[in-house]
A and B are shown apart, each in its own frame.
Chain A
């Protein structure tokens, strides 16, 4: 048996930078590893188990949670409601955000002020925004929206208590909360479009409308696609507004996926079942992210 060669100075010098690099990365890696990487695996592990904290350890039950999920009508209601929410928020906030960004490029010196004010809902906590909006939606004649519609002789409506109005009300808050973000992204996208294309179109006699439709919007396509995916993903994460304003009601009309997950995990303590819901959410969001990357690789822009 050969004795191991003592760590020579040169070898130490070769290895040391590697060790030093690991030391710099270690604290961040520990935190991200334990609380952001590991749970992706652990969620799947938990979803194959039955557990409610009372027994010491989870019991393995295979894919039974997913089978149950398949025949759980509340899961399908939640999935449908989440899709309805996304369909309500995403197109509206993209169209409004794009229009405002186009107008902002006409805003001259005031455009900074407009942008800052339009952005305020984005930096407001979703839960606090929901507290404010719950008051705007107050069912009596003293609620803001009822005062507003009362001027036209309409209402009063029971916005959050009426099964057919509750989801549209939550959607309106979602649009309000996300417009500012879209404005900022679209505004940056507009500024990146080279002036030469538009000047060339003008010299060729294109009308402003033709220029907008045939030059500006196609060049903005990658930005639009990015906003579409990011908004859809964040729509699937909606929770705070629903928790504060409706608690999933009335008649489960605002029961969304994350609220259902929260309810199963922290009201019923069905950890394995909630993990199965989380896993489904994970798959949906992954699919959206991969769709984004696939299309970005095809580069849907005509610039360069």
Chain B
């Protein structure tokens, strides 16, 4: 990166090739502006973390830094609502959703990419059309469907409707279509059937695409709020995000415990994101998914 910039600078003397064409001083100013923006964006998280380890008197006196670190806030928050159950529910629902989605979408994407069948294009665009209809529009009708199926307040209501996604099929189809036909022919000559080729050759090759799809599904499932809020009502079925928002209603002014609960609800996804951020940002830049 650095050497690249240097070489470019030399190629047109006196000017660097960057969109704003900044001087060294200007570049320092750009960094300063970015640091200000980053700090402003991260401040809510910092305030959440600081609040979560404060003692109540720090809150009332408006102290910025905690007078002592009250780590037991986390224990007390954990014990004041069945967060263990909420976590298990969210973990189970998220993992099951991802597993189901990988299975259904990789099979469908493989057929759309590599198996000719009657009505393939029509069916593909029909499924793609579902991307244009947001969850909020279908909420009422799906609630009635779940009511008719007698699925309200069950795990299958949380998992199965999200067990396939047009976006995942689209992403995986792109990848599968790029696998050379020669590979399939060679496998066929070696006596490899279609399913064996899919299972033993295509899927291992598609690991990067499958990982991206799994990450998006996982984060979507972990962060889901409106759906679990509507389709569950018992405490046994409640997910973390719904649990935290109810906790906010019940313990509205107990900010230290509330922020401890919020930290626990957002930390897993933020840690996952920090570990694999390029998968996310590149996936979004490529597909425009929101």
Query: Residue of A at shortest CB range from B61?
Result: A142
Query: Residue of A at shortest CB range from B230?
Result: A266
B130 touching A176, Cβ below 8 Å = no
A27 touching B103, Cβ below 8 Å = yes
A21 touching B136, Cβ below 8 Å = no
Q: Distance in Å from the Cβ of A183 to the closest Cβ of chain B? A: 9
- The reply on B196 being an interface residue by CB < 8 A is no
- The reply on A202 being an interface residue by CB < 8 A is yes
- B66 contacts across to A, CB distance below 8 A: none
- B-side residues, CB < 8 A to A, are 1-2, 5, 12, 15, 17-22, 26-27, 30-31, 33-34, 37-38, 41-45, 47-48, 51, 59-60, 62, 64, 103-105, 107-108, 110-112, 115-118, 120, 123, 126-127, 129-130, 132-145, 147, 160-161, 163-166, 169, 194, 219, 222-226, 229-230, 241-242, 244-245, 248, 255, 258-259, 262, 265-266, 269-270, 273-274, 277-278, 280-281, 284-286, 288, 290
Query: Residue of B at shortest CB range from A22?
Result: B117
B117 touching A127, Cβ below 8 Å = no
Q: Tally of A-B residue pairs with Cβ under 8 A?
A: 310
What 6 A-B pairs have minimum CB-CB distances, sorted nearest first? A21-B117, A208-B21, A188-B285, A24-B111, A39-B141, A125-B223
- The reply on A79 being an interface residue by CB < 8 A is no
Given A105-B18, A108-B2, A132 and B44 contact (CB-CB distance below 8 Å): yes
B20 touching A212, Cβ below 8 Å = yes
- The reply on A95 being an interface residue by CB < 8 A is no
Q: CB < 8 Å: which of B64, B117, B219, B241 contacts A123?
A: B219
Distance, CA A34 to CA B163, complexed state (A): 12
Q: Distance in Å from the Cβ of B160 to the closest Cβ of chain A? A: 6
Distance, CA A121 to CA B273, complexed state (A): 11
Interface size on A, residues (CB 8 A): 106
Question: Is the contact region of chain A dominated by helix, strand, or loop, or is it mixed?
Answer: helix
Q: CB < 8 Å: which of A35, A190, A234 contacts B19?
A: A190
Q: CB < 8 Å: which of B141, B164, B258 contacts A278?
A: B141
B130 touching A28, Cβ below 8 Å = no
Q: CB < 8 Å: which of A28, A112, A115, A136 contacts B105?
A: A28
Given A31-B104, A142-B59, A271-B140, A212 and B19 contact (CB-CB distance below 8 Å): yes
Q: CB < 8 Å: which of B19, B133, B144, B245 contacts A127?
A: B245
B160 touching A31, Cβ below 8 Å = yes
Q: Could you name 26 residue pairs across A and B whose Cβ atoms are closer than 8 Å?
A: A18-B118, A21-B115, A32-B164, A35-B138, A43-B138, A46-B140, A46-B144, A103-B20, A103-B34, A106-B27, A107-B34, A108-B2, A117-B41, A125-B241, A125-B265, A127-B241, A128-B223, A131-B262, A132-B44, A132-B259, A185-B285, A190-B19, A212-B19, A237-B135, A265-B140, A285-B137
Given A43-B137, A127-B244, A102 and B19 contact (CB-CB distance below 8 Å): yes
- A100 contacts across to B, CB distance below 8 A: 34, 37
- The reply on A170 being an interface residue by CB < 8 A is no
Known: A22-B117, A123-B270. 9 other contacts (CB 8 A): A32-B130, A46-B141, A104-B34, A109-B1, A130-B245, A134-B248, A181-B290, A195-B17, A266-B230
A27 touching B140, Cβ below 8 Å = no
B21 touching A123, Cβ below 8 Å = no
Given A107-B31, A181-B284, A136 and B47 contact (CB-CB distance below 8 Å): yes
- A147 contacts across to B, CB distance below 8 A: 62, 64
- The reply on A20 being an interface residue by CB < 8 A is yes
